[in-house]
Structure 1
Amino acid sequence: MRVTTSRPLADLFLVPRLAPFYAAHPEIDLSLLVENRNVSLARHEADIALRLGNPKDSALKGRRVARLSFGFYAAPAYLKRAEALKTPRMIGYDETSELVPEATWLDQTFDGARFVFRSNSQVSQTAAARAGFGIALLPHFMAASDSSLRLIDLGVLPPERELWLLLRPDGSDVPRIRVTADALADLFKRDAKLFTKPDTKPRSRLRNSSG
């Protein structure tokens, strides 16, 4: 059984929660395919895909399993610096991420701001924020259990993204695919709050100095 998704969702959300699935379905073996490109379901490169964005023009069968919202996060050590309140140092995406909506939004919203670190990996961006490089825009689920990061307020946020679970049209007729898809959807339903804005208020209000 091959499931394709992004590395953050695979490593930080799915893998830590799959033990009950294996206990309930020991006959099913899972392969998680984590690639920057969209692995093709039509060419049977994967059986299930978890992708951001509403596949309006797709022939695939799909259901929305989560809404991802975002926040700005930084390490306490960074926030203690006096200059952090005046000219925020940003962490963003590199030039290979031009198709990522959040990359475009960051560059447009913080045009003129200093980006001290860029990467096409949100995991690397999270690590950079944790190390005190600056401020990273992250999906809330990536920082939900990270005590080394603080949610902060820059006065603006990008739109939410929808996460969809996709199958080939004949996929729901295959018992192991149907069972796996239902189990994955249940995981997102159970932990839906991880993907929304935390109940705690941002610790700091920083000024967006980009104008």
Structure 2
Amino acid sequence: MNWDDMRVFLALARSGTLARAAALVEQDATTVARRIQRLEAALATTLFEHGATGQTLTESGHRLLAHAEAMEAGARAVAQQAESGAGLGGTIRISVSEGFGMGFMAPRLPGFTEAHPGIALDLIASTGFLNPSRREADIAIMLARPKGGPLIAAKLTDYRLGVYASADYLAATGPVESVEALTRRRLVGYVPDLIFAPELRYLAEVDERLEPAIRSSSISAQALLIAGGAGCGILPCFMGDRHPALVRLLAQEVAIERSFWLVVHRDMRRVARIEAFIGWLREEVSAAQPTLLGKAFKK
């Protein structure tokens, strides 16, 4: 049986749509569909039911899934053995929130790649997360501990968020000395119906009256808007404290705390390149606790 076809089968079984499976195996959706049809013909059975929302496994598909995962585990074991004898290599796909990915990890990643030139990195920094349970990512840095799945999850770090505005905005509109005063200012925040995790609903946590007038699904865009004088907004301290145009407001009254969780599929945890990356990331996070907790740069 062709392992490449089985790899395509696994991608579709885990992702549920041709488009997502195609992205996982780096092929186009037409090729994925053709290879699934070839596999079904070779096995003389139907593996997927095709519905309006995607593809779901048939009973035959579920039986094949167990065999495909065993083949995958064997291939991974061979790769691990090769790694241990020939140095670290391969690719790590990391799924992370945009703020942590762009504001914290990206500036530090060159240090990892210099230490491990044989390892390629895919940094998927966007709204939402790829799913390690479905092998969409090797590592995910998530805002909450996942509730199930064949995963190993551990807290990576706590971090704080605060209220920020630009010095120019404050010079034009006056100081913000209370939460009550904040309710009378123009606010920048998330688009409410596009918030992908409840942990991102910051404004209501400060005061239920706070509503953003300028909204974006991107925390990086929000930071640029606030720095440009669009209004006040809540940012992670590891982003806001480092921006030269921003001033932190109400530090005593508003100190929102959240956590990042490190999540990896249990079959991948002992892969050498994964262990190397996790060790490196934990060292970086430990060294940056003042930055993450908002203590390094007092305004």
TM category, shorter: 0.7 to 0.9
TM-score, scaled to structure 2: 0.61
In structure 1, C-alpha distance between the alignment counterparts of 2:189 and 2:240, rounded to whole Å: 16
**CA distance in structure 2 between the partners assigned to 1:11 and 1:105 by the alignment:** 20
Quick check: 1:122 aligned with 2:219?
A: yes
Report which stretch shifted further, 4-13 or 66-75. Answer: 4-13
Counterpart AA for 1:29: A
Partner amino acid for 1:69? R
Mapped to 2, the partners of 1:57 and 1:111 lie a distance apart of 32
Q: Identify, as 1 or 2, the structure richer in helix.
A: 2
Taking a change above 3 Å as real, the CA distance of residues 160 and 59 of structure 1, as seen in their structure-2 partners, is: farther
1:175 equivalent in alignment to 2:266: no
1:104-115 equivalent positions in 2, closer than 5 A:
104-107=201-204, 109-113=206-210, 115=212
Q: What CA deviation, in whole Å up to 9, does each residue of 1:59-85 have, x standing for no partner?
A: 411222211111100001111134664
Change over 3 Å in CA distance of 1:42–1:111 after alignment to 2: closer
Instruction: Measure how far apart 1:187 and its partner are.
Output: 1.3
Deviates most, 78-87 or 36-45: 78-87
User: What's the % identity of the aligned pairs?
Assistant: 27
The aligned length equals 202
| 164-173 or 134-143: bigger deviation | 164-173
**Alignment match, 1:153:** 250
What is the CA–CA distance in structure 1 between the aligned matches of 2:114 and 2:202, rounded to whole Å?
42
For 2:162, the equivalent position in structure 1 comes to 71
Letter in 1 for 2:137: A
Q: Max radius of gyration: which structure? A: 2
What one-letter code is carried by the residue in structure 2 that aligns with 1:106?
A: L
100 and 82 in structure 1: CA distance in 2 versus 1, 3 angstrom threshold: same
| More deviation, 8-17/108-117 | 108-117
Q: CA 1:44–1:29 in 2, change beyond 3 Å: closer, same or farther? A: same
Counterpart residue identity of residue 213, structure 2: V
- 2:105 aligned to which of 3, 14, 21: 14
Equivalents in 2 of 1:169, 1:24: separation in Å? 25
Aligned partner of 2:138 in structure 1 is 47
CA root-mean-square deviation: 2.3
Query: What is the CA–CA distance in structure 2 between the aligned matches of 1:99 and 1:72, rounded to whole Å?
Result: 21
- Quickly say closer, same or farther: Cα 1:99–1:136, change in 2 above 3 A: same
Q: Which amino acid aligns with 2:169?
A: Y
Q: Offset of 1:12 from its aligned partner?
A: 1.9
Structure 2 unaligned runs (5+)?
A: 1-91
SS of 2:134's partner is: coil
Match of 1:81 among 154, 172, 183: 172
Residue 101 of structure 1 deviates from its aligned partner by: 3.2
The answer to whether the 8 Å contact 1:116/1:133 transfers is no
